[in-house]
Structure 1
Amino acid sequence: MQYLTYILCLLISTNAFASQTKKPQVSINFTSAKPTTDGDLQDPSLQAEATIDQLTQVWPKVKSANINKSKIKLMYNDEYLLIGAELFNNHTPITANTLQYNQDTTGDDSFTILVDTFDNEQNTYWFSVNPNSVKNDGFIVNNSKNIPEWNGVWYASSKRTDKEWAVEMAIPFKMLTFDPNADAWGLNVIQKIGLDPHGRPIDINTGVRFSGYGDRWRLGLLSVNTESINSKGTQQLTDARGTWLINEHIKSGFMITDGDPSTDVSNQTFCLDFRDHRFLTNKALEVGAWLQSNNTEGINKYDMAWVYQRYIQMTS
């Protein structure tokens, strides 16, 4: 049996090392042990006093309690930030279908850590692992632009049982940019499992997925028929997206969705983006724009938004 797994996530925001802010804090201890990164949380490098166990449910409903009793351990040595997560799922079997590195794990359970090395809530590295030990990573700029093309060399492994899985991660300091004199980092930790807004699993009846690429284009389509959330019927959910590299400087993309997994109300969304990045004589120029249109049943007009951005960076 399969489930939609992007309905519920757990989130906690903490500061690593010491901090004088009002954010939740945890002090991470040093270890001289070398990590094995095999998914075994009995690893000596993870026998830490720094444990996060007060996760907050943020979707579909905000709840303060850690309903799954998951725990995250944090340590560091001379080379790595070390993370060990014991992840419980009390509601559904663990879902893990993706087997290939850096592929979309939207339909899987997953564990993600976001590392804000300057603790300014602007630029963030993120590292994600599913129960099959499939890794994904990226870099978020200005708290808005995700750059999944950023690929770091780091280590992770997962182990699982029926209702529980564990992940061990080792993130090298040498691939991160940070102030060596700073004593605080920002961390967000996310556990994603598959439940509907009422805390129940959603069955997938049928589904189809297509993906393809060429020299200058990528295209993906996912369409599933699921049990309806608020009625006894079914609903069809479809997501199509693609990118086109027009030339070495210009890239355009689109996304189309049909259906809303959180309600039975008909909804369609269309997004189009455009980006031009090039180096001039003494500066780097980036121009971008995106347009989004949304049509929802019961609303008599289209919701529309657009943004135009231009960045100029002087070079020596």
Structure 2
Amino acid sequence: MRRDGDLTGDDTVSIVLDTYGDHRTGYFFQINAAGTRVDGLISTADSVSLDWDGIWDARTAKTPDGWSAEIVIPSRTLSFTPGLNDWGLNLERFIPRERLWLRWASPTLDSFLYDLSRAGRLSGVGEVQQGKGLEITPYAIGKTKQFYGAGSSRSWQGAVGGEVTWKITPQLVTVFTANTDFAETEVDTRQINLTRFPLFFPEKRSFFLEGANQYDFGLGLSRQDSPLFIPFFSRNLGLLDGAQIPIDAGVKLNGRVGKWNLGILDVQTRETIVSDQVVQDLGLPSAVVPGTNLFAGRISYDFNENLRVGTVF
């Protein structure tokens, strides 16, 4: 089964971590007996975004009494408050054949695993280090075309680029991208629309997923599975009426500084020639779409674990 697949009816073990100690945001990790992994970012007590894919590993083994799991989560995968000695931690086992949930902390019907205010305490992590905090993802692609017949010739095309992720601090991350290529991005799940409303397709490009939860609003309004209100939808960047607009470069800064949460995004698109159909649909003056600089920002302040005030600009 693919990563982040639906494990609703599976025998699973889940872990949540509150690495900021704010009882609000954190990380979610899950594995089933077959070793399928699911991970995500928790933004509220009832919402988790599975679009985030962290670097971690897990192994499972069958035993005479059932099965066991061993999970390794490197500290460099996590953003956290430096020097914080206690993290929030909760563990949950779901046994589907008995419809039984076993939870380490807050094993009550009125609480959820994602509710980090009900999590237990993981002590002794104040000395955890993030390492160098540098991740480089380069790429190179090339293709050739051979024309046969009179005046036959061969043409070559290629491109290089990549992304650089740097954790300035354990709480603050910046991402640079150049000559971005999204060919390896997971394809959208096929959907059939029987309504008059347009279909919703979530963002899946890794550059835009980093820190995407910073743009979420409270009350479940921005939940990825059933969004009611999305103040900033990055899926529109690099697209024009279905036509691809290449992104030459981009930079992101997201994370926390004290009780302040911030997300800043700036991308530069390339001048592109679109099809006549796009020109007709949008009423464009010409088929040439000029390069454009696009910016979005989000800032919020945590007054306490239940109150956050912010804005998008």
TM-score by structure 2 length? Answer: 0.37
- State the structure with bigger RCO (CA 8 A, min sep 6), 1 or 2: 1
Please say which structure displays the higher CA radius of gyration: 2
